């Protein structure tokens, strides 16, 4: 399963977001309506699922699904 599919699955399963709303350019807050509590939960899910550490400063920069995919991809390569 690729990173984008995994992120989509997390958003759909954990936060109840409709799969049709999860597009690469979707902004977590503006487009998907994720609040700060959900976002914190989402970042923790990313860390557990991909076995990476996402510092708070980095987490704040992840605003779209594309940004999250790129970030996670880079973290997993390093």
**DSSP character string of 17-71:** --GGG--TT-BTTTTT---HHHHHHHHHHHHHHHT----HHHHHH--BHHHHHHH
CA separation for the pair 65, 76 (Å, rounded): 16
pLDDT exceeds 80 at position 1:
no
Mean of all residue pLDDT scores within the chain: 95
Indicate if 73 belongs to the active site: no
For 14-45, the pLDDT digits (tens) are 999 999 999 999 999 999 999 999 999 999 99
Q: For residue 64, what are the β-bridge partners? A: 27
Stretch 64-77: mean pLDDT: 96
Q: What residue segments make up the domains of the chain, in order of their start?
A: 3-77
Q: Is 0.85 topped by the overall pTM? A: yes
Percent of the chain's residues with pLDDT above 70 = 100
Is domain 3-77 given the CATH code 1.10.1200.10 in the classification? yes
Catalytic residue among 13, 31, 35, 58: 35
């Amino acid at each position: 399963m690729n990173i984008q599919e995994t992120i989509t699955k997390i958003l759909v399963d954990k936060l109840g977001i409709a799969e049709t709303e999860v597009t690469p350019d979707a902004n977590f807050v503006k487009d998907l309506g994720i609040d700060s509590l959900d976002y914190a939960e989402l970042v923790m899910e990313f860390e557990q699922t991909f076995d990476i550490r996402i510092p708070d400063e980095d987490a704040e920069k992840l605003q779209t699904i594309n940004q999250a995919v790129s970030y996670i991809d880079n973290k997993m390569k390093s």
